[in-house]
Structure 1
C-alpha cells in the first residue's frame, strides 16, 4: 500500500482537534508607565556612551535595550516625550544604519550570481577570475601513449587457447555470465572476457601503480581476431561496463586453491628491461647513474614505458631503457619475482614520489644496481644457478654465498 501524502493526512477528519490552533496575537499593550522607564534607561545610556543603544550589539544588555527602544520609539507615547529631555526621540527617527534583522527591500535582492559579483561594494579585482600558472584541464594527465589495437606479433602462442575456449563455450563446458552494471571487476592473468563480440584474454597484468589516487595496473589484452591492446585496468573495466553485451568467462575449478583454477594462465616468455629515470627532480637526478628500474614484460618494451611520465611506477617521469634481456622458456612472473628478491638489499628505503593529489607513493621496482648486475643475474637464472649467489651491497657486485 503506498504511503499517504501530506495532503492526504491533512484531508483526514481531525478527530482530536489537533489542527484547531488559535495563534495568540502579540501584545500591543503599552507598559504601565507608558514607556517612561525605558526612556530614562536610554537617556542614562546615552549620557554614559554618547550614542543610542544598538539592537545588534554584542553586549546582551545593550542589545535588549536597543531592541525595546527601536520598537517603542517608533510609536512614542506622551509619557516618553515628557521624559525625553535630550531630544533622543528626534535622533531615533533619523535614518539609522541597516541591521541584519531588517527585511531587505525588493530592489536590493540580487537576481543572479552575476549581480552579486558585479556589485562594486565588494571591490573584487578581475584578476581573481584569471588563473595563472595552472595547467589547463585539457592538457592535464594527457597520456604519451594510448591503448590502441595493434597486431599481436606472437598470436600463435594464443591461437590454440582461443580455439579451445570457443569450443568449450559452444559445448557448454564453460559459462560466460553477464557483467552486472557498475560491477567492480578485478581482471587477473588468465581471465577471459567477451567484449564487443570478441574473446579477450588477459595475458599480462603489470605491476601496481597509482592513478588519480586509486590503484591501477597496465594490462596486456589479446583479442580473438589477432589484435592486442594495453589499456589501464580502470579503462578496461569501464569498457566492459559500457558494453551491454560484455561477459566474463567463469574460471574452471572451485577457487584459487583448485589446481584447475589457473588452467587458462600461460607462463609467457618475455623481456627483462632496465630503465633509467630522466626526471629533473634534483633528488632523483643525483642518483640517475646507479638508480634503475628492473621490470619484466611480455609486450614490446617501448610500449611498456611509453606513458612513463604519467605512471608513478616510473617515478612520474620519462625513462631511458638502457638494457634488455630476452627470456627463453621461462615464466615472466617468476623471473621478475626472483630478480626483485635477489636485489632487495639494494632497494632504496627512502625512495618516494608525491603525486598531484599530495599522496606519497613508494615504487618497489627501483634498485641501486648497474645494468651489468642485472645481466649477470639474468644469466644465472637462465643457468639455474641464481640461488648459489647473492648481491653484496657494500661491494656492489654479485658474489658466491
Structure 2
C-alpha cells in the first residue's frame, strides 16, 4: 500500500467533524444533562395553590380554615391568605379551574348575603356566623370599636408558642378549663374559641369610651390566632365571645384557675341542680334548674333533697359545680334573684310536716345561659346584665 493510501485509524472510526459526531448520536448519549431549575417564590406559590385546587377536586368543596382537621385547616388558612393578596390572586388566576379566587360583589344587606349562599358556604359547623345567642349590645358612638381579623404578618414570631402549647396539652402539663371571665383575659394567656387556639399577645392602654350613653373603660388587645390571623378586638369583646361560644382557658394541670392567689379564700361552691321529680307539675317544665350556694360540698348539701321543699321534695342531679373565692353568699343570692327575676319558678311546696314553702332558687332558663351568668357573676361583669326570657339571652340593662 502506497503512502497516499495509508488511512488514519482514528479518522476511519469517527466522522470527520463534531457536527457529524452529534448527528450520529441517535440515542442522545452526548446530550448534556439539564441543570435543575431553581425553585422560585412563584413556583412555591403555585404548588401551594394547586394543593388547594386538588382538595377542591377531591372533596367538592373549599377547605375550611376553622375545622379541627389540621391538614384541611392549613389549606383553608392558605387560601384565606391568598384571597387577601391581590398580587397572588393575579399570579394564580390561570390555575384557578374552580373559581376559588373569584371575589363576588359585596351584598347590599345581610339578607342578600344569606339568600345568595347557594353553596352553603356560610353553613360552617362551628357556628362562627351564628350570633343569635350573643347579648344585645348597644353600639358605641365611635366606629373605631369594630375590629376585624386580618392576616398576621408577624405570625412566625408566635407560631412556636402554639406548637409548644399543643405539646403541653398532649403531655398533660396543661389542660382546658372553663373560661372564668374578664379578669382572666390577661397578656400571655391562651384560650380556645370555636376550636381555635388564641394567644393574648398585648393588652393596650385603658381608654374611656361612651357606650350606650355611659362612659366605659376599654382596652384594645392584640390577639393572635393559630390559623395565622390576628385581631385588635376589645378586651370586653373577647370576654363576651368566650362566654357565649363556651370558650375555654388553657391552665396548668392541677390548678383550677390561674387567677387564684395565696391571699384568696375559698368561700364555697356555686352549684346548678336539675330535679328528678316524677311530679308532672315539675317534670313537665323544660330548662328548670336550681342555682344555689354551699359552703360545704354539694353532695353533702343535697343529701336530704327528697325530703326538703327547697329541692322540690325530690332527688336532684348535680349539673354543674363551681368552686368560688372571695364571694359573699348574700351578694350571690341577690345577683341571681335580680338577673333571673323574670323566670323564677312560682310554686308552693308542702314539707313533711304540712308546712307551705316557696322555693326561691329555681329558674326556667337554658343551662348554657345559666353557666354564662355564673361565670359573669364570679368575674363581676354580671352587674350590667339581666335575663331576657323572650330571646333567652343575657342582655345589657337598659
> Considering the TM-score relative to the shorter chain, is it more than 0.5?
no
Which one has more relative contact order, counting CA pairs under 8 Å at least 6 apart?
2
Greater per-residue strand proportion: 2
